[in-house]
Structure 1
Amino acid sequence: MSTAGLDRRARRRQETIAEILDVAIELMETEGVAALSLSAVARRLGMQPPSLYQYFPSKMAIYDALFQRGAEKLRDAYRAPRDAARSTDPLELNLIAATAFSRWCLGHQVYCQLLFWRTIPGFEPSPAAYAPAQEALNDLRDHLQATVDAGYLRPDATSDEALALYTSMTAGLLSQQMANEPDVSHEEGRFSRLLPVVLEMFYQRYAPTRGK
């Protein structure tokens, strides 16, 4: 969140919130996503635990803020390379976007656990926190629609069922990568490098019927 245009007190508050979230991510990386402790966050920041409640009323509120931050970062990481690409071929653009998605996820695995796996009992993101994730899903539907318009896919490739299949296939691939080779890059990963194959499987499932 930008602090431009805020007065000094409001800017300092936003900076402290950002510090809290940074520390929370660091602790989740070492202790586990579900093991986050508000007292540990406060100690790392040099503040008393009650002071933390001035910024976040509960641990779930921190998770919610982190979900929104992660979803925004992933949405932007997904958009930027595709928007900057010179190609107009939808299949190539889809691969560029999917590859950017994979690289970001492998580089931010704590966020991914929060975004894609139910690692925190009872946690549900608020509508505001979920909004950027929905924007990313809408982007995916638009990308698939462009692929339909180019004649590569049937119209039902943009259906809710098709999006569920697409996201299940790509997220499953990344889940396997993180579970088996968490420290390996997208290009070197035994599973992540199969991303073009997974996309091709999706395209075959929704390929236009010949002769119709």
Structure 2
Amino acid sequence: MSSDASATASRPHSDRRARRRLETIEEILDIAEAVMAEDGVNALSISEVARRLGVQPPSIYKYFPSLIAIYDALFERGMRLHLEVQRDAMADAAPGLDALTKGLEATGRWALANRALAQLMFWRPVPRFEPTAEAMEPSIEMVNLQRSALTDAVRAGELGPGADTDDAHYIVSILIKGVLTQALANEPDLPWGQGRFTPVFPKLMEMLPALYPPSTQRPRAR
């Protein structure tokens, strides 16, 4: 048998091994996410993941070199899922403040439905964990989406020029994270739009034109 034929014959086996490996990685991450949801983000451990997977702890290291690596993969997984949700919400809205508000409301709904991942992504519950550059890529895309919405709001005359800045984006971030922090701390089982905190988010977003008033008033429709 030629070397080319041998390589072709062995490829299905390699493909199956690669597929099984990816499936096991996803299963490990599913288990890890379940542990965090049930027992808290800091309760995650290699030994508990191995126990639920039905293997010995050293077997997990074939797929992840450390517990921090599992956290990193969970961070990236959550960021990619969240980015897709926010992007879809903004795409269905008018450019500018409407898109920004709809995107942030989608963030709120997603965070309350995925509390463990949201805590890992948007707060710092795990000492010494710093996401890798690769895991941070979806977060950077998220920031760019929000900054683009602020730019669109300035162009549309909804906000003044100062809104197209890092400071304005920091304020937006504080608004959504402040509401989510209160909701997660006091009403974690309520969905977005119910309770004392998340329903006031639209009112908070109405503060932006007061903070960054448009330079000129748009003419009223006759």
Fold similarity call, TM over 0.5: yes
1:73-127 CA distance string (max 9 Å, x none): 11101011221x2x53533222221211111011111011101111000010000
| Preserved CA contact (<8 Å) 2:147 2:169 | yes
C-alpha distance in 1 between matches for 2:116 and 2:81 = 13
Q: Which runs of 5 or more residues in structure 1 are unaligned?
A: 1-5
- For the residue of structure 2 that corresponds to 1:7, the secondary structure is helix
Alignment correspondent of 1:183:
189
| Counterpart Cα distance in 2 of 1:120 and 1:88 | 38
Q: Which moved more, 1:194-203 or 1:16-25?
A: 194-203
Residue 154 of structure 2: which of 141, 148, 157 is its match? Answer: 148
Letter in 1 for 2:165: S
Indicate whether 1:59 and 2:67 are aligned.
yes
1:165 to 2:200 alignment: no
Say whether residues 1:122 and 2:128 are aligned partners.
yes
Aligned residues: 204
Query: What amino acid does structure 2 have at the position aligned with 1:17?
Result: I
Aligned to 2:36: 28
Q: Which amino acid aligns with 1:82?
A: M
What is the aligned partner in structure 2 of residue 80 from structure 1?
88
Quote the Cα distance in structure 2 between the aligned partners of 1:150 and 1:127: 34
TM-score (norm 2): 0.88
Aligned to 2:3: none
Distance 1:108 1:29 in 2: 8
Equivalent residue in structure 1 for 2:200, among 185, 194, 198? 194
RMSD across aligned positions (CA) = 1.5
Contact 2:154 2:161 in 1 (8 A): yes
CA distance in 1, matches of 2:49, 2:95: 47
- Larger Cα-atom Rg: 2
What SS does the corresponding residue of 1:64 show, helix, strand or coil? helix
Q: Deviations over 1:152-195 (max 9, x none)?
A: 11222121111111101111111101111000011213111111
State the 1:140 CA deviation.
0.3
Cα distance in 2, alignment partners of residues 160 and 92 from structure 1: 19
Determine helix, strand or coil for the equivalent of 1:27: helix
In the TM superposition, residue 31 of structure 1 has moved relative to its aligned partner by: 1.5
Q: Give me the TM-score of the superposition, normalised by structure 1.
A: 0.92
Percentage of identical aligned residues: 45
**1:92 counterpart (86, 93, 98):** 98
Q: Is the 8 A contact 2:97 2:150 kept in 1?
A: no
